[in-house]
Structure 1
Amino acid sequence: MKRPRLLFISNLFPDETERYRGLDNATVLHRLSDSWEIRVLALRPTLKAWLSSGKESWNPRSGDEIFAPNFVPVRYVPRIGDLVNHQLMERALENAMEVQRGKQEFDVVMASWLYPDGWAAAALAKKLGLPLVLIAQGSDVHRYLKVARRRTLILEAVEQSVAVITRSKSLARLLEAAGVPNEKLKPVANGVDSKVFHRNGLGGERENRGLGGEAKVVLFVGNLLPVKNPGLLVRAFGEVVRARPEWRMQLLIAGKGPMEKELKELVEKLGMAGQVTFLGPLPAVEIGERMRAADLLCLSSRNEGLPNVVLESMACGLPVLATDVGGIHEVVDEPWKGLLTPEDDVEAFAQAMEKLLETPLDGKRIAEYGGTLSWERTAAVYQSVLETAVESDSEKSFQLKS
C-alpha cells in the first residue's frame, strides 16, 4: 500500500554538526516513518546567504538520510527583520521546492516554529494547495506573541493551518487567548526514549561517577542562556552549601552557551570551585547516566514550553525542582514528583532544594509515571492529526495576508 507523503519544514532539524538542534522533531519523524513517506526542508537562516561566495553546506546525521533532508540557506535581517524575514524565508522555500517537487509530490505539509518558519510554510502550502499542520515549540509562543508584528504573522499562519500541535497545554491556552479556535489546538508533550532514560542500574551509576551513597548530587541539563537563568541555580546551590556544611554536595552542569564564563566566575566568587562541575554538552546516553547518578534535577528557567529534560528525568526516577513557568506544572503537578517555585526567587529555590535533598522522594514511583510518557503516545497524536489533515478539504481557501 502506498504511504501518504509528508513534507516537513523547519529550522529545527539536526545536522551532522548540530546533532541536538530540533532533535524532538527528528525523533517524531522517525516514529512516523513506517507510515509516511517523509522529506525534509531544513532551513538555515544565515547572513552568509547574502553573499554569492558565502555558501554553506550541511550534512545529515547518520540515520536521517531516509528523509533526504535539503538544508536550505535563508537570508535574514537582524533586529528590524520582522518586516521582511518571513518573506525572505518564503522565497528560499519556493526556490528549494522547485527542486523538491521535481522529485516527489506531497499530501500534507508540517512545519515547526510558528514564526518565521510557520508563516513561510503556510504561504508555500497555500500555493501548492496542500493542508498544513503547524507545531508550536515554546518561545515562538511565549515570546513572539508579545511582539505585535510577529503576533499578527503567527495568527495569519495559524489561520491557514488545519491544526496546531502544541508541546504543552499551556502553549495551547496562550494561543487560544490570542484568538486561535480551540478545536485547532492539539496539545501533546514530547516523549521519552525508554532505552536511554530508565531507572535500571541506579546504584551503579553513582559508584561509577565516584559519588558514593553520601553525596547530594544536583543536576542541570540545558543551554547556558539567560532564559534558562542558571545563575539562580548556582546562587541557590550556594545557599544550601552554606546552610548545610555537613553535607557533601555536588552540582553538575551539562550544557553549553554564552553564559559559561560568567557562571564559572560566579562559582569562583562563591568559593564553590570544588563543588560545581561543568560537563559541557553530553549525548543522550550520558545524560541518562548522570540522571541515574543524581538526587535532583534543577531547572531555574524564566521561560519554558515543556522541556524534554523534565520528562526524561522522571523516567529515570529523578525528582524535579523547577521554576513554575510554561508547561512544567503539567507534569510536576503533585509533591511526590518534585517542587515548583516562583520565577527568579533564589531563596524559595534554595529552600525547596534543601527540602528535597533532606527528604528524598520515591524514585520508583516517579519512574513508573515517567515510563508512561512514551514517544509512541506522542507519535500516535501526530499520526491522528496528519491523517485528519490529509482527509480534510485541502481545496478550502484561506486568506494569508502579505
Structure 2
Amino acid sequence: MMSDARLRILSFSTVYPRPTEPRFGIFVRARLQKLAVLADVAVVAPVAPIEYGSPNQRWFDLSRAPLHRMDDALRVEHPRWFYPPLFGWSHSWWLARCAEGSFGRLQQEFPFQVIDAHFGHPEASAAFRLARKFGVPFTVTLRGNETFHAEDPRKRRRMAEALRAAARVIAVSEPLRDFGIELGVDPKRAVVIPNGIDSAVFHPRNRSAERQRLGMVDSELHILSAGYLIERKGHHRIVETLAGLQGHGRTVRLWIVGDPGAEGDFAAGIRRRVSQCGVQASVTFVPAVPASELACYMSACDLFCLATSREGWPNVVNEALACGTPVVATNVGGVPAMIPDPRFGLIVPPGDSAALGNALARAMSMEWDRDAIACQGLSRSWEQVAKEVYEQLRAVTIENKL
C-alpha cells in the first residue's frame, strides 16, 4: 500500500521477468523486491512484440505479458513498445514514446518522486526524456552492456548526454563507474553498488547427495558452466580446454546448463566445437533449470567456470561462490571484486583459451576451503543492496527540493 511518508519510486527497465520468462532480468527484480520493503515501488517494464535480436523468437506472444499485474508488492506495467531494426541509436526515442502513457497514468495514481532506470541503453536516454516531461529527477544503473553499445558513436552520444543529466549513476562494478566518468559523469554523482545474493536459494547443499541425485560419477572431476547458450558466454572456450585437462589423472566432465537467449542461439556452435575437439563423451548439456536446481548443480560440481567476454556484475559467479564452489572466471566487469583472493578462485584474461586451460588445470590440483568460499559468496545480500540504492534515491529527491 502506498504511504505519503514513504519514497515513491518508478523503476524503468525493458529487462524484467515475465510470467513465462521468470529468469529474464531476475537480478533487476531481486533488487526491486527488497527496495519495496523500504519504499513504494512501481515498475514500467515495456515488452516488444517483435524481438529482432532473437533468431528463435522474432515475435513475442503479447498475451503472455498482461498490461498490468502485481508481482508480490510491486505494481508492474508492461506497455508495448516498437522499434525499427538496424537503427539501434533511435530505440531510446521509441521507448520513451511508447512508455509515456504508462508514466502518465502512474503519475496520476502513484505520484512518483524519482525514476530509477536500469541500463544505459536504451533506458537511460528514454528516462532522460521522460524525467523532463514529468518534472522529476532520474537515476541510471549501468549493468554491463553499455560498453558494447558505446561502440556505436550515435548510441554513445545519447548515453553520454543522458548520464551527464542523471542525478545519480549507479554502477554495479568499478570499471562501469569509470566508463560513466569517461562519458562525462561527475565523479561525485557516480557510485558503485554491486548486486547481491539470495541466500535462501544459493547456499551449500549436501555435495555427495546432490552428485548422486544428478547422476554425477564420483570418480570424475565435474566442471559447471551455466548461462545463456550465446557466444559471449564462452561455453565453447571451456570445451576447447577439455582434451588437455583429461591428462591430469582424473576424468573431467563439463556440464553446460542453459538455453539460447535474446542475444542469439549459439548452441549449434558449442556442439560443433565439442565434436571438433573430440570430447563428446565428456560434455553433458542440460536445459535451463530453476535457480534452486542450479544451486544444486553448483554445490555438486568441483569447479564453476565463466569464460565470458563481457559482463557488468556476473551474478552467477557470486551464486557459485555462495554454494561453496571455487570459480575460474575471465577478468571482466566486477569479477576481480568478487574473487579478491585466490583462496576463492582464479581469474584469467578473456578470450585466452590457453590461459583458461592452465587455470582450470591448476584449480583441479588445489585444495579448496569450500566453507570459506561460501562465506565470501554470501557476504553481500540483496537487502544490503536495496538499502544502499534507497539511500541514493532518497538523497536525490532531497537534492531536487533544494
Q: For 2:311 and 2:158, locate their aligned partners in 1 and report how far apart those are by CA, in whole Å.
A: 22
Distance between the aligned counterparts of 1:289 and 1:91, measured in 2? 43
Q: Does 1:86 align with 2:89?
A: no
SS of the equivalent of 1:223 reads: coil
40-49 vs 30-39, greater mean Cα deviation: 40-49
Q: Distance in 2 between matches of 1:274 and 1:110?
A: 48
- Is it true that 1:38 corresponds to 2:37 in the alignment? no
> Deviation at 1:104?
2.2
- Say whether the 8 Å CA contact 1:132–1:162 is kept in structure 2: yes
Aligned residues: 388
Aligned to 1:398: none
Match of 2:338 among 312, 331, 351: 331
Q: Which AA in structure 1 matches 2:328?
A: L
Note the C-alpha offset of 1:67.
Answer: 2.2
1:314–1:366 Cα contact (<8 Å) kept: yes
Identity value in percent = 27
Deviation (angstroms), 1:63: 6.6
Q: 2:212 aligns with which of 194, 207, 218?
A: 207
Match of 2:245 in 1: 240
Corresponding residue of 2:234: 229
Partner of residue 21, structure 1: 24
Distance change (3 Å), C-alpha of 1:143 and 1:367: same
Are the counterparts in 1 of residues 205 and 296 from structure 2 also a CA contact under 8 Å? no
2:313 aligned residue (272, 297, 306): 306
Q: Which residue of 1 aligns with 2:288?
A: 281
State how far apart, in whole Å, the 1-side matches of 2:111 and 2:125 are.
21
Match of 2:129 among 123, 128, 152: 123
SS at match of 1:393: helix
Tell me, yes or no, if the aligned pair for 2:46 and 2:79 is still in contact at 8 Å. Answer: yes
State the AA in 2 paired with 1:143.
F
Match for residue 144 of structure 2? 138
For the Cα contact (< 8 Å) 2:170–2:193, is it kept in 1?
yes
Taking the aligned partners of 1:48 and 1:300, their CA distance within structure 2 comes to 26
Judge conservation of contact 2:207–2:300 (CA < 8 Å) in 1: yes
Q: Within 5 A, what are the aligned runs for 1:93-242? A: 93-140=99-146, 142-241=147-246
Which stretch shifts more, 214-223 or 39-48?
Answer: 39-48
Over aligned residue pairs, what C-alpha RMSD do you find? 2.2
What's the CA shift for 1:107?
1.2
Deviations 1:371-392, CA, capped at 9 Å, x for gaps: 2121122111111111111211
Q: Which whole-Å CA distance do the structure 1 matches of 2:223 and 2:361 have between them?
A: 11
Question: Cα 1:60–1:44, aligned 2, differ >3 Å: closer, same or farther?
Answer: closer
1:71 aligns with: 78
Per-residue CA shift, 1:275-312, capped at 9, x if unaligned? 21111111100111001001111011111112000111
Normalised to the residue count of structure 1, the TM-score between the two structures is 0.91
CA distance in 1, matches of 2:211, 2:241: 23
Q: What TM-score do the two structures reach when normalised by structure 2?
A: 0.91
Gaps of 5+ in 1: 396-402
- Deviation string 1:82-117 (CA, Å, 9 cap, x unpaired) is 1x2221111112122233333221111101011111
Matches within 5 A, 1:248-259: 248-257=251-260, 258-259=265-266
Q: Distance in 2 between matches of 1:124 and 1:203?
A: 53
Could you say if the C-alpha distance between residues 283 and 48 of structure 1 is closer, same or farther in structure 2, counting changes exceeding 3 Å?
A: closer
SS at match of 2:380: coil
Give the deviation of 1:352 after TM superposition.
0.9
**Alpha-carbon deviation of 1:55?**
8.2
Distance 1:15 1:109 in 2: 21
Other structure's SS at 2:42 match: strand
Whether the 8 Å CA contact 2:68–2:76 is kept in 1: the answer is no
